[in-house]
Chains A and B, each alone.
Chain A
Amino acid sequence: MKHLKPINQKAGRIEAQIQRELAADELDVVGLESRPPDGPHIPLGCSLVFFPGWEADSQGGTAGLCQPVERDLFDCHLACFWPAHVPDQLNHSVDWTGKCASAQKDWRKLDLVFP
């Protein structure tokens, strides 16, 4: 800080915290609704994505509420680190989505998988 001089110990800690925040700005965890200066924030993985949006959509409004269930399914399948909901496409069910080019139209073609 150039214009404010920290005098007591607490002020020193406040300044250090501000410095840390400035330094960590790009790496900071931000909510989906935050818009950092360099554009929209794209989170990775469903744990950071507010789907299916029961209360609010990713814009904070209600227009995009209730995504189709298949969208939710595919978020688990593609971006999520948690493999419980969908077949293991790496090892056992490599072709699981083979007949499903577009989830919203073709989701019925997804096969059942029996391990």
Chain B
Amino acid sequence: MTPAVAEPGAMAPIALREFHPFEAAGERYVYMVPSAGVFKLDDPSAAVIDALSTGPRMPDDIVGELSGRFPEERLRETLQELAGIKAVGTADAPREEVVNDLPPEGFPLTTMVLNVTNKCNLACTYCYEYGEDKIVDTTFGDQPKFMLDETARDSVEFLLKESGDLPVAHLTFFGGETLLNFPVLQDTVAYARRRGAEVGKRIEFSLTTNATLLRPDIIEWLAENEIGVTVSIDGPKEMQDRMRVFHSGRGSYETVQPKIKELLRKHRTRPIGARVTLTRENLDIRRIYEHLREDMGFWEIGFAPVTTDSARDYALEDEGLDDMLGQFEELAFEWLEAAVENEHHGFSNVKDTLEEIHKGVSKAYPCGAGLGLLGVSTAGEVSLCHRFAGSDDHGFGTVTDGIDREQQREFLEDHHIKNKTDCHTCWARPICSGGCYHESQVRNGSTTGPNLHFCTWVRSWTHTCLEIYGELAERNPEFLARFDA
């Protein structure tokens, strides 16, 4: 029950509590922390917040101060409503503790990422699997190069079992270069379809590829089986060829370009996206976007900074991150103008964040890894996510033995936002929750800590996305329904 803070004569001083204010389309909003509710303020509520921004006051003083501008009754109503959403509260009320609410036991698996091979026909300089920052010894380690049919089938059974009562489960193929193990892909999809039908569960498929091995028959198979495809690509020729090279050092653009065109022409059953790795040298986001969207014809393009030790010369550091942010903002506002006209724009980063804002997610964990998403190594070992596949330190059992629930519980206890004390004063924590485990492992040598090197970036980007969300809510609110569900 909301305590009555605004009754005449109330003797407790009141103060602002935790939220992030933003403006959009000439209106004022608050993003509540940690509830992640977005509210639009009217004039009296904005005035109350402004008045309280200088420090705690008695409710009667606030009302007195603003009574020339608004009727007293409206001001008291406003105060009570702001208290209701916890934007204001009594000044001596303790900070709201971050609740240590672990997910329920036996949380179902929604997505399994299957590393069907750890071998790759490219030798991208920044590769986290083979490059300088690798976690698992993929060259001389004990993981098989290719997953066997049998392991893949066991993995399908694992997914069917661990997804519990969910009507739909997702199976993503990953590598290495996924298509190097095409025979196992074919077998696994056929097997999963048959077993899914038997137990009454729909399985959706997707894969990530570098596109070098696409052939007409593979493309046909992808289209027929409605397999979602993400292509790892860095942009036009000179950008792609800088890092995404064959083992000989030759660039891969000339090889992939015609194959991607063919893929986009023939595979129409699922939208096809591009996934770009940004580095210090590869940062002309606008040019990359236009090339991949307009010249190539990808439906969506997502960008991510390279995950690497800060010492590498291709690492994205402060200035590069600022540059990236500026370009992200430009594309994001372009996305907004398209959305206002109900048109599609392919910049997927903004869409993903807006969806989280729309739903009001408030995360205890940065992503589903270790919870609803797990990776499986070529040997059938279950891991935190595909980026940790085969790592002994980040294992969660095997596909034949099932999820090691005790290890999972321990992981969830250790990685809860409750333990990330650096995050407790940050307003962006409902969306960020400390960021990628793999990024943290590579930068800090451990998955437990937040990625403090991204804090400023994440807050700025989230602020921009809030502004875009507010604009859209004002100019084309119907569009937001696309994020429902």
Contacts and interface: CB of A to CB of B under 8 A. Distances in A.
Contacts of A6: 37-39
B37 A3 contact: no
Contacts of B74: 2-3
B358 A18 contact: no
Contacts of B1: 21, 25, 28
B3 to A, nearest CB: 11
B484 interface: yes
Contacts of A21: 1-2
Given A3-B78, A25-B1, A28-B1, A10 B45 contact: no
A4 B469 contact: no
A12 to B, nearest CB: 8
B62 to A, nearest CB: 14
Contact of A11 (B38, B42, B470): B38
Contacts of B41: 3-4
B38 A8 contact: yes
Interface string B30-61: 00100111111110110000000000000000
A7 interface: yes
A4 B45 contact: yes
B37 A14 contact: yes
Nearest to A25: B1
Nearest to B473: A7
A4 B361 CA distance: 20
Contacts of A5: 39-40, 42
Given A10-B36, A10-B360, A28-B1, A4 B81 contact: yes
B484 to A, nearest CB: 7
B323 to A, nearest CB: 30
Interface of B: 1-2, 29, 32, 35-42, 44-45, 74, 77-78, 81-82, 84-85, 357-362, 469-470, 473, 480, 484
Counting from the closest, the 6 A-B pairs by CB-CB distance are A10-B360, A11-B37, A5-B40, A8-B38, A7-B38, A4-B39
Given A1-B81, A3-B77, A11-B38, 8 more contacts: A2-B74, A2-B77, A3-B81, A6-B38, A7-B38, A13-B37, A18-B84, A21-B2
